[in-house]
Amino acid sequence: MIEAMTGKRLWLAVLGLALLSSQAGHLLAYQLRFGAAAQLVQSSGVHGYFPVVAKTSLGAVGAVLLAGLFLVGLARALTGRLSYRSGTGPSYLRLLAMLFTVQLACFVGQEVGEAALAGSAIDSAPHLILWGALGQLPVAVVGGIALGWLARRYEAAVDELRTVLAIRPSTPPLLAAVIPAWATPAGSLLLSQVAGSSLGKRGPPSSSRWGQSLNQY
C-alpha cells in the first residue's frame, strides 16, 4: 500500500527544504532590491558568510533531488513500473503555504540578526516582509511543485523496493550426481575376482599327464 508523505515526515521534508531554499530566496530578494550591486552587498561586511552558505544550500538541495530521482529510477528499473495513486500525497497549496511561511520567517530572522550584529538600524516589518515575499515566493512555488512531485513517487518507489526485497529467491534444485555402484557386496566381489583368476590358471589336467599317472599303477 502506498502511504502518503504526511505527518512528521512531511514536516521534516518541508522544514529541510525551506531552510535550504530560503537562501536562494534571499539571493533573489537582494537581486531585486540592489540590482547589479547585490553580489557586492551580499559578500561584504556582515554578509560575508552568505556566498558560502548559499552555494552549500543550493548544492544540498541538488543532492537531495538527485538522490530522490535515483531512488525513483531504481524502483522503475527493477520492477518495470511505478504505480501510485494520483489522489495521494499532500496538496500543492498546503506545501506552498508551508514552504513560503518557513522561508519568509528565515529571511526576516536572518535580516534582523545581521542588522543586530552590524549595529545598524533594522528595517521595518512591512519592508522586510515585502522584499522577503518577492524573493521567497517564486522559490516556494518551484519548491512546492518539486516536493509534491517527488513525494508521491518517493513513497511509491519505497513500496516497490520493499516488495522486491521481500521476495526471496527460490533455492536452486540440487543436481543429482549419478554414481555407479555394484550390487554385489564387497566381500563377494573380492572372492569372485580371486577365485576366477586362480581357476583360469589351473584348468583341467591334460591327456598326456593323465596317461602317465595310469602307467605308474
- For the chain, what are the domain ranges? 7-164
pTM summary value: 0.64
Greater model confidence, 109 or 159:
109
Which pLDDT value is given to residue 63?
Answer: 85
Which pLDDT value is given to residue 165?
Answer: 72
Altogether, the residues listed in the chain come to a count of 217
Report for 34-43, 116-125, 135-144, 178-187: range of highest mean pLDDT: 135-144
Which pLDDT value is given to residue 1?
Answer: 34
Which pLDDT value is given to residue 2?
Answer: 36
Mean pLDDT of 16-39: 90
Greater model confidence, 169 or 150:
150
DSSP H helical ranges for 119-202? 125-166, 186-202
Q: Which three cell numbers stand for residue 167?
A: 521476495
Q: Which three cell numbers stand for residue 193?
A: 575376482
